[in-house]
Amino acid sequence: MSRKLILSFKHGGKIGLSPLLGRMMAARLPDIEDGELPIVVPVPLHRWRLWSRGYNQAALLASELVRGGKGRLCVDALERTVATPSLGGLGKKARAKVLKGAIRVRQSRVQEIRDQKVFLVDDVLTSGATTDACVHALLKAGANSVRIACFARVIDDAVVKGSAQTLDMEEQLGATK
């Protein structure tokens, strides 16, 4: 069911699903511990992809998390500087190669990101390559910590079969400094 929802949302133009999906995500996020709201940052689309799709699904979800009290929105903190091809069908190494140097913190937002807790928002975590690129850029810009908030995670066959290749995403992504 989650696959059908997210495909309708992402590729079917059903942006009216964003409040539902956002509420479902917000319910799984931790409460704010120290009263300081984290910065909520969506995974960016390249301007050509945004133009052709008409919306950034991660930005819509990020807006819903902010509406639910989970942080302060900074919709343009990250920018995708390279028009990367669709990553569908590519393996983890190929995805990482395509994304190398393609995402950075927008220069005008570096001060806003520095020493802050960040929630990085995406619709689907597939291989982790896009998330890795975003986390790397945010930490390089001085973010104190980065936590990932996504609606769905693709589980590959190795994970489904209980393979030892299963990774702890927080360790793999270096989620905190």
40 in any annotated domain? no
The pTM of the full predicted model, rounded to 2 decimals, is: 0.81
Based on the structure, what is the number of domains in the chain? 1
81 in any annotated domain? yes
pLDDT confidence tier of residue 156, bands split at 50, 70 and 90: low
Taking residue 85's Cβ as centre, other Cβ atoms within 10 Å add up to 10
Mean pLDDT computed over 100-107: 93
Q: Picking from 2-16, 59-73, 74-88, 91-105, which range would have the lowest pLDDT averaged per residue?
A: 2-16
74 in any annotated domain? yes
Contact 119, 29 (CB under 8 A): yes
| pLDDT reading at 5 higher than 60 | yes
36 in any annotated domain? no
How far is the C-alpha of 47 from the C-alpha of 66, rounded, in Å? 23
4 in any annotated domain? no
pLDDT at residue number 168: 39
The most confident of the ranges 26-30, 35-39, 110-114, 147-151 is 110-114
Q: Picking from 62-66, 92-96, 128-132, 133-137, which range would have the lowest pLDDT averaged per residue?
A: 92-96
17 in any annotated domain? no
Mean pLDDT computed over 95-107: 90
Note the helical H segments in 13-70: 18-28, 47-53, 57-67
| pLDDT reading at 63 higher than 50 | yes
* 70-99 pLDDT tens trace: 999 999 999 999 887 777 777 778 888 888
95 in any annotated domain? yes
Domain interval for residue 58? 23-30+46-173
